A and B are shown apart, each in its own frame.
Chain A
Amino acid sequence: MRSRMRLVLALTIAIAIPSIAGAQFGHPMKGQWSGEWGPKNNPNRVLLNLDWDGKEITGVINPGANQAAVKSVTFDYSNPAAWVVKIVAEGKDAAGKPVAITVDGKLENLGAYTKLFHGTWIQGAQKGEFTVTRN
């Protein structure tokens, strides 16, 4: 048991340190973000894969068979330390019907490796809070 705990600890450190070395100082929205949205007792895991092409942010939410394509990302830079970001995306429900996703949040900790994006997530008829950090 103890050796297993040591292994878990070692793996955690091994994973954490390269993430520190993997700095990214380009467009702060670019990159892979992971976290959760929805009720705290039954949250939905979420992964954002975003890129900056020099004109707009593009990308997908939850890459894979059921991914949602990002349609637009807009920014309000009024507060340089907490950018207001709105993401509009479109996914599909289990029946294959389009589902609109609207993400309204604040992008904070902009200069640190662990950037934080949090706010309100609306997916179809569901609404909840979300928090993602940049991987």
Chain B
Amino acid sequence: MKSSLRTALISATAAVVFASSVWVLGAQTQGDGAQGGAAAAPGRGQGGGRGRGRQAGPALPTPRLADGTVNFGRVPGEKGVWNTPYITNMANQLVGDDGQPLPEIVQARQQAAAARGAGGGGRGAGGGGGRGGSKSEPWMPWMPWSAAMYDYTSKNESKYDPEGYCLPPGGPRMMATPYQMEILQMPDHNRIVMIFEGATHVWREIYMDGRKFPEGDLLNPTYLGYSIGRWEGKDTLVVENTGFNENSWLDYFGHPHTDKMFVTERWTRPSKQTLHYQATVNDPGAYTKPFTIAWEIPWREGGELPEYICQENNRYLNRLEDDFGQPIFGPRPQPGVKPTGGTR
């Protein structure tokens, strides 16, 4: 009995170690991952979706399903994918009740553009994509801790970005990670599935069967949360999401969130070429009031989803050090032993 227990323990341990080793070695053998992948991918400018931008030409009619609701996918017989943009800083995407960018953001963008024009580089000013910390984004409803955490992340330039570990982006960041995405509507099954090239090659399921959110422990916290959708008229898909874990950031710049986050998304397709995405983030654990962000996602006619595996050759992890200069994948700080060194 004792030896069989030992054998079982050793077998289980070996399986875990083997799986872990494969994962670690796999990460060592190919190109950089998300920090080096999503964040530093060549030719992927902010909001530009791999630098390809929007399609030219006149707006084509919105495709629709047989019941008249919007078809967020392909027209039968054609190919195409959504060219998700790369939005590094959600704070620059805040909109008011009218759906327009906040005046403070417009002003900050103008100032940043003027600074760039004057040779100022445009970094550091809020709204310009720089790293000015929480003070550069006064329109964000910070809590003291979330502001401090954001200042810390701004200072270390997002070196702990969870997406850099090839972990899935959570919440709206799925729609702001610069890889292509496809939406498959299955009205007969009362579900919508979104599949992503990047963002660790994950999929998202939206339940359209009128169900309620699971309660208590049944709502298992996950990266993408639990999504329930409904149609508002024939044009707008409203998706409510909750049940997020705390293993992700809202964006590359490091806006934090908690497991109290509730996201209400509104999806429209004003033309065949454009998907309008809007999300209201209500996180009473990190922000004092809800805020709404929005952007457009261009359609890439003829596109198909290629395979992209972030975990392969993620060398970023191998060179990543913590604030004490110790490898992230190295020894843990020991109780009673004050860490030495440091790269703060």
Residues of A in contact with B (beta carbons under 8 Å apart): 7, 10-11, 13-14, 16-17, 20, 23-28, 30, 34-36, 40, 43, 52-54, 75, 77, 80-81, 83, 108-114, 116, 118, 129, 131-133
Contact = CB atoms under 8 A, between A and B. Distances in A.
A20 to B, nearest CB: 7
Contact of A25 (B20, B151, B249): B249
Given A25-B248, A27-B285, A111-B323, 10 more contacts: A28-B145, A35-B336, A43-B336, A77-B148, A110-B149, A110-B323, A112-B323, A112-B328, A116-B333, A132-B335
Given A54-B258, A54-B284, A111-B160, A24 B246 contact: yes
B25 to A, nearest CB: 12
A23 B162 contact: yes
A113 B153 CA distance: 14
A118 B344 contact: no
Nearest to A34: B335
A103 B260 CA distance: 28
Given A13-B17, A26-B258, A27-B285, A116 B165 contact: no
Sort A-B residue pairs by CB-CB distance and give the 3 closest, nearest first.
Answer: A111-B160, A26-B246, A77-B148
B72 to A, nearest CB: 30
Contacts of A110: 149, 152, 323
A73 B45 CA distance: 42
A83 to B, nearest CB: 7
Interface in B207-239: none
Interface in B322-344: 322-324, 328-329, 332-339, 344
Interface in B21-77: 23-24
Contacts of A14: 13, 16-17, 20
Interface string B300-333: 0000000000000000000000111000110011
B152 A75 contact: no
10 contacts: A10-B10, A14-B16, A20-B328, A25-B249, A27-B285, A54-B260, A54-B285, A77-B151, A112-B323, A116-B339
Interface of B: 9-10, 13-14, 16-17, 20, 23-24, 133, 144-145, 147-149, 151-153, 155-156, 159-160, 162, 165, 167, 246-249, 256-260, 284-286, 322-324, 328-329, 332-339, 344
Contacts of B152: 80-81, 110-111
Contacts of B328: 20, 112-113
Contacts of B344: 81
A23, A30, A40 interface centre (most CB from chain B within 10 Å):
A23
A112 B339 CA distance: 14
A17 B317 CA distance: 13
Contact of A35 (B20, B285, B335): B335
B14 A10 contact: yes
Contacts of B9: 7
A84 B35 CA distance: 30
Contact of A112 (B16, B322, B335): B322
B338 A25 contact: no
Contacts of A7: 9-10, 13
A13, A14, A80 interface centre (most CB from chain B within 10 Å):
A80
A80 B20 CA distance: 34
A109 B323 contact: yes
Contacts of A28: 145, 149
Contacts of A118: 338
A115 to B, nearest CB: 9
